[in-house]
A and B are shown apart, each in its own frame.
Chain A
Amino acid sequence: MINFGVREVAMSTVPDRPGWAYVPDTGLNASVTALQPTSRKRHRTELVGDNSAKQDAKLLRDLAALDRESHRDVSIPVPVRNRDNAGRVSHGKVTPAVRKILQSQKTFGNYLGDFEAHVAAGTQPVSLPPAPNAPRLAPIPASATPFKRSHKKKDPNAPPKEPLRKSSMPVLKAESSHLPIQNSVGEEKLADALDPPPHPRDKDPLLRSWIPSIPTQEEIMKLLTAPPLSYNKAKGNWTEDDRRKPVRQFCEVCGYWGRVKCMRCGGRVCALECLNTHKEECFTRYGA
C-alpha cells in the first residue's frame, strides 16, 4: 500500500464502508450547461425519475464532476525552456490575430456562450478578419457555395477540371441501395457484369415486396449542401420512446439494482445491508 499514491479509504475490517465524498459544490458552470439541455421547456420534461430539487442539484453536480479533466484544478504552464523556440522552424513574425488567439484564456463554455448569444441576437457570430494580403477593395465572395467557384469565373483557357469535379459529385444510381451489400459479398465476383449481382437475401420473402423509393438527384444535393447544425442542435435527444421507459436505478453502494430509496436524501440502495452502509455516509453529509 506504499508508494503509489493511492490512499486506502476503506478499513479492512469494514470493507463496504464508502469513505468517499463528492467534490465540493462549485455551483453550476458551463460544463453542466453543455451536458444538460439548456431550454427551460426541455429541462422540465426531461427530469429523470421523480426527483426533488435537491436530488436534481446533486445529479447535475455529479454529471459536472464526470465531465471534468481532473478532480482538482491544475494549471500546468508551457515549459519555460521552450519559450525561446531554440532549434525550431522559425515561423516569422507573429501576426496580431495570432497573438490574440494564443493569449486567449477562454474556455469552450465561453465560446459556446458567445455563439449562442449572437444567434439569439441575430447577429454575425464570428467577426472575420480581412484577408491579410487583400487589396482594400478586394471583392470578398458572398456566395455560400464556394465549391462551385471553379465552374463559374474560371480562366477559360485553364484546363477543364470537370472529370475530377464530377467524380466528387454525388451521383447515386438507382441501384445504389444494393451497392454496399453487393460489394461485401466476395463470391459474387463471377456474376455477369451487366446485371446487378445477386444478393444473398434475394430469396428472402420480406425483401421481395419491399422497394424503397430512391431519392432524386435534387433531394441528394439538398442533403449534401445543407449547412452544419450548431453545436447545441447536434446534441442527441432523449427520444420519446426512451422517455416512456422507466429509468434504471442502481445501488449507490454496491451497484446492484437500486430498489430501496433513502428517506433522507433520496439516494438508492439495493437492500438493508447497503442501506445501513449508506446511512452512515448520509448522516455525515446531511446531519441528523
Chain B
Amino acid sequence: MAPASHRTKSSGPAPPSKTLVLDNGAYTIKAGFSSIGGATEPKIIPNSIARDRDRRTYTGSDLEKCKDFGEINFRRPMEKGYIVNWEAQKEIWEHEFFENKSELYCEPLETGLILTEAPNALPQLQTHCDQIVFEEFGFASYLRCPGPTLNAYNDIPHHFFKALAREATQPLLPAEIVVIIDSGYSHTTITPLLQGRPIQAAIRRLDIGGKLMTNYLTRLISLRQYDMRNDIYLVNEIKEATVYMSKDFKADMEVTWKGPKGDRRPLYETGGGIGKDYVLPDYHNTTKGYVRDHDPTNAGKLKKMQTGKSAEAAEDILTLRNERYAVPELLLNPTDIGLRQSGIAQLVMESLSCIPFGLWPGFLANILVVGGNANIEGFLWRLNDEIRALAPTECFVRVGRPEHPIISTWNGGAELAKDVDRLASMSITKQEYEEFGAGWVQRKFNGQ
C-alpha cells in the first residue's frame, strides 16, 4: 500500500531552485551549489573541530587560519565513515552553511540537499540523519544516497576512458555499467553500479583507508626516527608527499635493505632512487614541510650551519625508505599488518562473484577509483595488474581514475542536480517527510 503523493507537476510546490551538494566525508566535506543553470566549484572543508597547542579551536574551514599544526588535535563527527556525533556535525554545518558570512550560505527552506553516505550504513544512524535534515534544518527536498553512486552521473567514458564527450543536448543518463572503488579516510568500498543503481549484495568494504595508513606511517617513523605520535596531521602531509605503490615489492625491498652487518650498503646510503628526505616544518619560520631526494651527505644541514645560522635553525629531516611503499601496500596486502581481510583486487573479484557472469566483461572494463587514495602514485597500475591476474583471461581489464578523484563524487552529484526532474523523482520533499515519517523515508531511499 502506497501513499498518494500530493505533489504533482501542476499542484505541488516546485522543486527548489538550487541544490546544496554535500559529499560529507570523514576527513573533508566537499560542498557547493548546483542548479539547472550550472554548478559552482566545490569547496573542500575539513570535517573537524581542531584545537592547537595554544588551545585555540578551529571549526571546519577555519583551519586554514591555523599556522601552527604542532600537536594539533581533531574532533571528527564521523566514525568509520558514518556521521555519529551530531553535536559536532551540526556545529560544522552551521558554521559553513547557515551563518550570514558563510561562503556557502543558504536558506534551507529554499534549498534542496543531496547528501552522501557510506554504503551499508546502520539504519539507526540513517534515521538520525533524516530527522536532523528535516526537523532541525528543514531542507525543502532531500536525497540521501551512497556516495559511490553519484559518480555514475559523470561522463565516465569521456573523462576517464578518453572516449567522445557526451553531447550537451543529450539527456543525462547515468553510466551503464561501472565499478566504483572509493578509497577514503575511513575505509575502501567496492560498489558495482548498473545505470547508476548499486548492486547492494555485491558491495564490499576493506577496513583500510587514509587514517589507518597515516597511523601506520606514524608507528614506523616513531619506532625508527622521531616520536611523531602527537603530530599525526604532519605525518599525513608526509604520507601524501612521499608514499607510492610499488610495482615490484620484492625488488624495492632489496634496494632499501640496509645490509647484513653494521656497514651500510652503498645503495642504501644513496637511497637507490627510493630514499627521500622530508624536511619538517618548525612552525616558526615554516608551516609546511617538503620532500626532496635523499642526500647522503646531509648537505642541506651543513650548508645552513655554515651560513652562520644557529644550530636551532638547522633543518630537521626524516629519511623515508621502505616506509614509502610499505604503507600503501596495505591496500593490496592487509595481512602485512595482521588484518584478516583480502586486498582490494581480491575483493573486487569477491564482489563480482555475486553478479551473473554475463556482466563481468562490462564491470571489469570499467573500474573507476575515486577518493583521496586514488592519488597514490602507482596505485592504478598495480591494481590493474593484480585484477588482471585474477580475472578470467577472456575479460578486458581497465582501471581508471577521474582527474580529481577527491571531488569526483561531488561532481557527479552536481551533474544530477542539473537534471531537476530526475533529482525530484529520487528525492523526498519536506512535505512528504512530515506526512509519511522517517520510516517511509528509510524505505524509499533503500529501494533505490
Contact = CB atoms under 8 A, between A and B. Distances in A.
B154 to A, nearest CB: 13
Interface in B129-185: 131-132, 135-138, 157, 161-164, 171, 173, 175-178
A95 B99 CA distance: 21
Contact of B224 (A78, A104, A254): A254
Given A71-B229, A143-B443, A98 B131 contact: yes
Contacts of B439: 128, 140
B8 A158 contact: yes
Contacts of A133: 434-435
A5 B234 CA distance: 11
B162 to A, nearest CB: 7
Given A143-B443, A227-B200, A131 B8 contact: no
A226 B343 CA distance: 25
B136 A89 contact: no
Given A252-B223, A255-B220, A229 B203 contact: yes
A66 B200 contact: no
A154 B4 contact: yes
Nearest to A155: B8
A210 B276 CA distance: 48
A168 B422 contact: yes
B358 A177 contact: yes
A185 interface: yes
Interface residues of A, number: 146
Interface string B272-299: 0000000011111000000000000000
A181 interface: yes
A269 to B, nearest CB: 12
Contacts of A95: 131, 135-136
Interface in A142-197: 142-150, 152-155, 158-159, 161, 164-165, 167-172, 176-181, 183-186, 189
Given A128-B442, A212-B361, A87 B90 contact: no
Contacts of A2: 282, 312
B86 A104 contact: yes
Nearest to B80: A108
B207 A34 contact: yes
Contacts of B91: 78-79, 82
B368 to A, nearest CB: 11
A97 B130 CA distance: 11
Contact of B195 (A141, A170, A252): A170
A224 B355 CA distance: 11
Contact of A168 (B84, B137, B195, B257): B195
A74 B49 CA distance: 12
B10 A66 contact: no
Interface string A83-122: 0010111011011011001111011100110110000000
Contacts of B421: 164
Contacts of A92: 138
Interface string A121-137: 00001101111111000
Interface stretch (B13-21, B37-45, B114-122, B404-412): B114-122
Q: Which of B3, B70, B189 has most A Cβ within 10 Å? A: B3
B316 A65 contact: no
A37 interface: yes
B136 A256 contact: no
B382 interface: no
A25 interface: no
B228 A229 contact: no
Contacts of B284: 3-4
B222 A9 contact: yes
B366 interface: yes
A66 B135 CA distance: 37
Contact of A177 (B80, B171, B359, B435): B359
Contacts of A36: 340
Contacts of A4: 70, 231, 280-284, 316
Contacts of A165: 425
B297 to A, nearest CB: 16
Contact of A153 (B3, B51, B342): B3
Contact of B123 (A59, A126, A158): A126
B342 A9 contact: no
A171 B162 CA distance: 25
A146 B441 CA distance: 9
A263 interface: no
B197 interface: yes
Contacts of A150: 5
B207 A235 contact: yes
B447 A145 contact: yes
Nearest first, the 6 closest Cβ-Cβ pairs linking A and B are A131-B437, A149-B2, A183-B157, A5-B70, A184-B161, A128-B439
15 contacts: A1-B312, A4-B280, A6-B226, A9-B222, A18-B223, A35-B207, A69-B211, A88-B99, A134-B437, A158-B8, A215-B359, A224-B197, A227-B200, A236-B205, A238-B342
